[in-house]
Amino acid sequence: MKALRLHAAGDVRVHDEDEPTAAEGRTLVRITAVGICGSDLHWFEDGNIGDAGLTRPLVPGHETAGVAVDGPYAGQVVAVDPAIPCGHCEMCEEGHRNLCPTVQFSGHSTLDGSMQQLISWPTHLLHPLPEGFTAADGAVLEPLGVALHAWDLAHVPVGATVAVVGCGPIGLLLVQLALASGAARVIAVEPLAHRRDMATQYGAEVVLTPDEAREASTWERLTGLGAHVVFEVAGNDDAVTTSCLACRPGGRVMLVGIPSDDHIGFTAGPARRKGIDLRLVRRMKEMYPRTIELVRSGKIDVRSMVTQTVGLDEAASAFADASARKGLKVVIDPSK
């Protein structure tokens, strides 16, 4: 079978490898859609993410769907939950599987990901998709799950003003999710024109450039005191500072973005004087049943997020396009 491996920053190569086998409790899945995530881009651009670095050529990919080859879901299109927690530590037993200290994660550190034609995966972490879902729809359920987990942690009041700083795929999913969940209005901030256009299409009432969003008078004019909750989804210091500027006194800033240099900094004075609650978001919990229902019911549109689909042989150019922030969600189909 074919597998894509990241050898070093910017260096991805397709290899011929042996097909995996499915041990008891596992299912073989033929992969037909893998989204390139912002965290995959950290691996591609930097050769690391946070304090985790490459120790060997790694198969990337964790936004995944495909067709089950065997097992109870044989022949069905399934979404693949990329996190394998231990299931018995204190965090797992308390329902915080995303905080399991020994969690294995697809395409991270020692566990090869899904940018290959076949994977063997724990059967209980597969989610069959309803009729009408495509594999690409299933792949986007993972970033939707991250957005939904961030939303849960934020405790957004019904009728609130929500700001989203950074309108990549997760940010755009948060725009949709906010409006589907009872926010009165959404204000988005994004440097790229095509993503600002998509934020408007998904229902953002106002869409600002970063320069506009850096002015306190902009937020005073638009919101008075500021947004009740701000989702920072860009992963850089300017975005965090803007998020604190946009937030009302006593409000909450959710840090969803992952910084390239493993460092977060912001202007402390305004945030301190406002008494802002800063919360960091770590992946997601048990989100697949809810994300599937949000898409099935039509409340969230994931299909329009996918703007490019290529095979493994074009993966290097696809990573370069995603790194340049062209389009929205780039999907790799290893079956091509």
Q: What is the pLDDT of residues 212-259, one digit of tens each?
A: 999 999 999 999 999 999 999 998 999 999 999 999 999 999 999 988
Residue 111 is assigned to a structural domain of this protein: yes
Residue 50 has pLDDT above 90, yes or no: no
Rg value, the chain, Cα:
20
Q: Which pLDDT band holds residue 44 (cuts at 50, 70, 90)?
A: confident
What confidence tens digit (pLDDT) does each residue in 285-324 have? 999 999 999 999 999 999 999 999 999 999 999 988 888 8
Pair 157, 268 in one domain: yes
pTM assigned to the model: 0.95
Q: Which pLDDT band holds residue 262 (cuts at 50, 70, 90)?
A: confident
Residue 137 is assigned to a structural domain of this protein: no
Looking at residue 312, what is its pLDDT? 94
Residue 290 is assigned to a structural domain of this protein: no
Characterise 14 by phi-psi region: left (phi > 0), alpha (psi -120 to 50), beta (else): beta
What confidence tens digit (pLDDT) does each residue in 5-25 have? 999 888 999 999 999 998 999
Please state, in angstroms and rounded to a whole number, the distance separating the CA atoms of residues 231 and 204: 14
Which residue range(s) make up the domain with 309? Answer: 2-128+302-332
Residue 30 has pLDDT above 80, yes or no: yes
Residue 139 is assigned to a structural domain of this protein: no
3-state per-residue secondary structure call for the chain: CEEEEEEECCEEEEEECCCCCCCCCEEEEEEEEEECCHHHHHHHHHCEECCEECCCCECCCCEEEEEECCHHHCCCEEEECCEECCCCCHHHHCCCHHHCCCCEECCECCECCCCECEEEEEHHHEEECCCCCCHHHHHHHHHHHHHHHHHHHHCCCCCCEEEEECCCHHHHHHHHHHHHCCCCEEEEECCCHHHHHHHHHCCCCEEECHHHHCCHHHHHHHHCCCEEEEEECCCCHHHHHHHHHHEEEEEEEEECCCCCCCCCCCCHHHHHHHCCEEEECCCCCCCHHHHHHHHHCCCCCCHHHEEEEECHHHHHHHHHHHHCCCCCEEEECCCC
Pair 80, 49 in one domain: yes
Residue 53 has pLDDT above 80, yes or no: no
Please state, in angstroms and rounded to a whole number, the distance separating the CA atoms of residues 300 and 184: 17
Residue 55 is assigned to a structural domain of this protein: yes
φ, ψ of residue 206 in degrees (nearest 5): -135, 140
33, 138 contact by CB (below 8 A): yes
* Token couple for 233: 């989804």
Pair 99, 74 in one domain: yes
Q: Which pLDDT band holds residue 38 (cuts at 50, 70, 90)?
A: confident
Q: Which pLDDT band holds residue 46 (cuts at 50, 70, 90)?
A: confident
Residue 230 is assigned to a structural domain of this protein: yes
Pair 114, 176 in one domain: no
Pair 271, 313 in one domain: no
Pair 232, 275 in one domain: yes
Pair 80, 167 in one domain: no
Residue 293 is assigned to a structural domain of this protein: no
Looking at residue 68, what is its pLDDT? 98
Residue 47 has pLDDT above 80, yes or no: no
* Token couple for 286: 């048990």
Average pLDDT of the chain, as a whole number: 94
CATH number at residue 241: 3.40.50.720
What confidence tens digit (pLDDT) does each residue in 142-161 have? 999 999 999 999 999 999 99
CATH number at residue 312: 3.90.180.10
Pair 89, 205 in one domain: no
Looking at residue 36, what is its pLDDT? 93
CA-nearest of 283, 208, 200, 199 to 245 is 208
What confidence tens digit (pLDDT) does each residue in 61-115 have? 999 999 999 999 999 999 999 999 999 999 999 999 999 999 999 998 789 999 9
Looking at residue 280, what is its pLDDT? 94
Looking at residue 52, what is its pLDDT? 75
Pair 261, 173 in one domain: yes
Looking at residue 255, what is its pLDDT? 97
Structural domain total, the chain:
2
Q: Residues 290, 292, 293, CA angle at the centre, nearest 5°?
A: 65
Pair 111, 190 in one domain: no
Pair 101, 195 in one domain: no
Pair 76, 114 in one domain: yes
Residue 294 is assigned to a structural domain of this protein: no
Looking at residue 72, what is its pLDDT? 96
